[in-house]
Amino acid sequence: MIFVLVYAKIWYTHVYVFLWGRPYRQNHMREAWMGSDGSNKEGMTGLHRVCLAVSWIVVFVIAAVFLVGQCVFKHNEFRGGRMGYLDGEWTYESTQGKTGTTTLPARLDLDLGEGVTFKTTLPDDIRDGMYLCLSVGKNMRVYIDGNLRMSHDFSDSELPGRVVKNAFFTLEISSLDRGKTIEIVRDEPGAFNRYLYEVRYGELYSIYSDLKKEYLFKFLMSTILFLDGVLVCIGVAILNIVFKVTNEPLKYLGFGTIAVSVWLITDSYMYSLFFENTYVDGVVSYMVAPIMAIPFFLYMNEIMEHRYENVCTMSMASLLLIDVVTTILHFTDIMSYGLTRPISNAMIGLTAIMLFVTIIKDHILGYSKKYKWIEVGILVMIVCTAIELLEVNLHIMTLNGLFLIIGLYFLLGTALVHSVRELIKTENERKSVIEANRVKSTFLANMSHEIRTPINSIMGMNEMILRENKDPDIAEYADHIKRSGKLLLSIIGEVLDLSKIEAGKLDIKSNPYNTANFIAETIGFLSEHAAEKGLEVKLDIEEEIPAVMEGDENHIKQILINLITNACKYTHEGQIGLRMYAEKSDELSAKERIFAFEVSDTGIGIKRENLGKLFDSFTRLDEKKNSGIQGTGLGLNIVKSLVEAMHGKVEVSSSYGIGSVFSVRIPQTVISEEPIEDSWRTLVTVDKQESYTATFTAPEAKILVVDDNASNLMIIRQLLKETKINIELADNGDEAIDLATTRRFDLFLLDHMMPHPDGLTVLKTIRANEHGINYRTPAIVLTANAVGNSRDEYLKYGFDDYLSKPVDGLSLEQMVMKYLPKNKIVQGDNGSKDADASNASATGTTGEAIANEQATKASEGSYDANFSKVAKMFGDENFALEVMNKVATDTLKHLDKMKSDLMIERYDDYVICAHAIKGMMASVYQEGLRARAKEHESAGKDGRYDYIKADFESFCRDCTDFCNIVLERKRD
């Protein structure tokens, strides 16, 4: 009653809170349903705790009731029936006259082939519908009171060889058989007939339940083991196929588990209850027995890291041999499995001992610490196998694989623990490798910055010495400094390249490039290096190479530079050969070609045994012979990584002392099929150290250079001195921002790493104001930070280009010339052609685009000339100024629109803008820009989008330059 009242109270309070959401007297009641924030993180109420505790008690009581019922008070009306054993005294008489009495199980001392008759009296409690159940493994006849009631002749089996395993057979008996004499005759020729294990009698269902009690548990455990093995194998296959991870040990463990479970299942007496053929199980279990140990040897071989592979191989060979030989003997009926069993078991035992010895040796040597769980598992498994073997051979007890099952489960458990620990360890190692790599990359980035900054000063100042000095001795010293500086930079470059490759940051780009230019530059590099060592150059450039191809020109160049540098480095006399050709391949589409290069030399060559390690990182060969040659052993490793990243191949053939040939084959897409013939010849230039003359002058141009390092500012100013450009210097970001808001510049050169604000912030601030006077001024970043995909990163930030420190005089000039308004540049006599050529290849424009760009330059008059033409046409200078101003503002707007159209590939709109610009440029007599706008318009209409993509940047820049001049004039 009290219980009912308390229960009702609890429910009333809770339902109240649930329905009305407000507390019933006590505040905390609401929290029983819901926490103050809608959750219930506050903790459990007392009632909640009580409920949990009671739930557990109920669970335990249920389990206890079930177990006590099953194990102590057995009571099953459903089974009913009776069952007993003919376990009284039996008499026997053999064909050789041996007689006596025995009880079951009987194992008489008979010879091979000697027959025997067992006799006893049937009990009085036999009822109608009962059966005799005999475990039979040989030919047998059963007589009751002299009448033959059952006969088995195993020669009826479909398999060759004898039957080797006992199975249960039944014989119907009735109350009429009470007290009669039963005779069991076993007389199979050439076999041991001495066993009679057991004879049961009773109702069929009782016999079946009794058998189940004895054998089903082990049978089920074996079946579960089989499924475990299959699951492990499926898991390993999924890991392999989906995640490309191989786990050899686990694979072998899976196979081993399947093999042992197959043996256990086929060896079980429950087998005939579930399978269709009573004769195959014995043969299968005998065949599986020796080889089931093999996967475990392979498993241990993997775990022991192949330390005892010979022992493993010998064990495998012995087990296979015994399996094959005993099977042949059995099937040919020369010797049945039953007779060869002791030999097979001895071999299994012997190999198990060998495995045991290796584990003990590993233990003594301390290797087993790495797999201590498996060590315990495998030792238990070996002990269990030994017990099982003893039982099978000596019949001490009836185990029927129980110990094997225990051992195998134990081993699987320990292997699981081992695998989980290994996984955790690998994961931790992976994390620490990633962390170490991150630390390494950061270190390299910092080191690069720290080393490049002072080298920048050294090289810059040295360049000044070279330019201004007239003394030949000092020129020689300065030249040495220049060479050593370059070498140091190339070493830093290689280390950084390698770290980029290792960090997976190698970014392969695909842009159209002019092959003649590419070839000319490569040959220029080769000629210069070969000349330094007095080596001859032999060229073989195929005329059919397509004029424009698409691929990563810069990385291919890097590969060739590496190979050519090596060829020159390791050749003391003779010649360096360069062969280039393009060929079709069945594996490529019609639009693709293999671009192939061969760099050959008559140098020191490479020993055959060293060819294999040639491409390993930090590997230098023949160190003694090469001791005077500088190198890091990284070049070829980088070459290989680059070639493979571009889906190409690199090969080497070499004769020691005679020379080497490095061949590279890289697939590229053809943009223009037109053959280059020998057009590259006119483009080849060799970079010689001559007395310096500026490639151009631009006295009207204004540049702002920003760097916190005073010597860098000085170097840039000095390097550009001869160009007569007006250079404004700022040694911090704030000053740069102030200058940029008040004065218009044609170009910014901004250092990245400055105390706040850094170069990125300065550019962001300038570009934040769309109406600012320098909103469209191009900006080049100067940086010593050469790690990662720096260039792309900077372009993303809005920089127009990138110059790596230490800045080289010629590159700086060319870069500045590229971005200054064209009409402010006065071409110098020297080097203008070079600059154009390298400009073209640097921007990756096609031959057509290059031609157009040059046409623009040629046709552009000075601003004044154009203006006077426009003024003449309108007859009024002010109006002409208005018109040009309007054209400039509208053109800039159209260019912005074209840029966004191009980004989303909306070519219809792109064509409309190009058309508009064409008209506007015609109206202000800008013939070059008009022609280029027209070309863009027709390219858009004809679907020549590659042309648009390749030329847009340069077209946009030239138009912008023109517009900026117009707008600036207006302001002035």
Two tokens, residue 839: 């400009």
Residue 567 CB, shortest distance to ligand ADP, in Å, is: 5
Sign for the pseudo-dihedral over CA of 237, 240, 242, 245: positive
Residue 454 CB, shortest distance to ligand ADP, in Å, is: 24
Biggest distance spanned by C-alpha atoms of the chain = 147
Instruction: Write the single-letter amino acid at 707.
Output: D
Residue closer to ligand ADP, measured from CB, 485 or 809: 485
Residue 540 CB, shortest distance to ligand ADP, in Å, is: 18
Residue 494 CB, shortest distance to ligand ADP, in Å, is: 7
Phi then psi for 580, rounded to 5 degrees?
-135, 135
3 state DSSP class of 771? coil
Residue 635 CB, shortest distance to ligand ADP, in Å, is: 3
Residue closer to ligand ADP, measured from CB, 511 or 626: 626
* Eight-class DSSP state of 700: T
Residue closer to ligand ADP, measured from CB, 79 or 579: 579
Residue closer to ligand ADP, measured from CB, 601 or 707: 601
Residue closer to ligand ADP, measured from CB, 115 or 659: 659
Q: Which H/E stretch holds residue 583?
A: strand 575-583
Residue closer to ligand ADP, measured from CB, 82 or 613: 613
788-794 long-range contacts (CB < 8 A, ≥24 apart) are 788/441, 788/445, 788/500, 788/503, 788/505, 789/500, 789/505, 789/507, 792/507, 794/752
- Rounded to an integer, what distance in angstroms lies between the CA atom of residue 733 and that of residue 744? 17
Residue 528 CB, shortest distance to ligand ADP, in Å, is: 17
Residue closer to ligand ADP, measured from CB, 340 or 637: 637
Residue closer to ligand ADP, measured from CB, 31 or 622: 622
Residue closer to ligand ADP, measured from CB, 401 or 603: 603
Buried b / exposed e over 932-958, threshold 16 CB at 10 Å, is bbbbbbebbeeeeebbbbbbbbbbbbb
* Binding site residues, ligand ADP, CB under 6 A: 566-567, 570, 601, 603-606, 614, 619-622, 626, 631-637, 660
Residue 541 CB, shortest distance to ligand ADP, in Å, is: 20
- Rounded to an integer, what distance in angstroms lies between the CA atom of residue 288 and that of residue 966? 93
Residue closer to ligand ADP, measured from CB, 118 or 570: 570
**Residue 596: beta bridge partners?**
581, 665
Residue 625 CB, shortest distance to ligand ADP, in Å, is: 8
560: alpha, beta or left? (left if phi > 0; alpha if psi -120 to 50): alpha
Residue 486 CB, shortest distance to ligand ADP, in Å, is: 15
Residue closer to ligand ADP, measured from CB, 648 or 659: 659
* Eight-class DSSP state of 336: -
Residue closer to ligand ADP, measured from CB, 614 or 850: 614
Two tokens, residue 206: 């009782």
Residue closer to ligand ADP, measured from CB, 571 or 866: 571
Query: CB neighbours of 594 closer than 8 A, spacing ≥ 6?
Result: 582, 583, 584, 585, 588, 665, 666, 667, 668
Closest to 182 measured CA to CA, from 200, 166, 165: 200
Closest to 731 measured CA to CA, from 753, 764, 705: 705
Residue 967 CB, shortest distance to ligand ADP, in Å, is: 52
Strands (E), 103-228: 106-107, 116-121, 130-136, 140-144, 147-152, 167-173, 181-186, 195-196, 199-202
Structure-derived torsion over alpha carbons of residues 635, 640, 643, 647, reported in degrees to the nearest 10: -170
Q: What does 494-561 look like in DSSP terms, one character per residue?
A: HHHHHHHHHTT------EEEEHHHHHHHHHHHHHHHHHHTT-EEEEEE-TTSEEEEEE-HHHHHHHHH
Residue where the block lists tokens 């980029």: 500
- Rounded to an integer, what distance in angstroms lies between the CA atom of residue 637 and that of residue 616? 6
Residue 631 CB, shortest distance to ligand ADP, in Å, is: 3
Residue 601 CB, shortest distance to ligand ADP, in Å, is: 5
Residue closer to ligand ADP, measured from CB, 566 or 790: 566
| Per-residue CA distances from 601 to 269, 506, 653 (Å) | 77, 29, 11
Residue 429 CB, shortest distance to ligand ADP, in Å, is: 28
Residue 616 CB, shortest distance to ligand ADP, in Å, is: 8
- Cβ atoms of 520 and 680 closer than 8 Å: yes
Residue 536 CB, shortest distance to ligand ADP, in Å, is: 16
Residue 904 CB, shortest distance to ligand ADP, in Å, is: 44
Residue 914 CB, shortest distance to ligand ADP, in Å, is: 48
Instruction: Write the single-letter amino acid at 450.
Output: E
Residue closer to ligand ADP, measured from CB, 123 or 493: 493
- Rounded to an integer, what distance in angstroms lies between the CA atom of residue 695 and that of residue 810? 8
Q: How many CB atoms lie within 10 A of CB 450?
A: 11
- Cβ atoms of 805 and 782 closer than 8 Å: yes
Query: CB neighbours of 642 closer than 8 A, spacing ≥ 6?
Result: 501, 506, 555, 558, 559
Phi then psi for 221, rounded to 5 degrees?
-60, -40
Residue closer to ligand ADP, measured from CB, 567 or 815: 567
- Rounded to an integer, what distance in angstroms lies between the CA atom of residue 558 and that of residue 64? 78
Closest to 359 measured CA to CA, from 351, 349, 368, 370: 368
Residue 620 CB, shortest distance to ligand ADP, in Å, is: 4
Residue closer to ligand ADP, measured from CB, 95 or 653: 653
Q: What Rg, from alpha-carbon coordinates, does the chain have?
A: 46
Residue closer to ligand ADP, measured from CB, 235 or 633: 633
- Rounded to an integer, what distance in angstroms lies between the CA atom of residue 838 and that of residue 813? 12
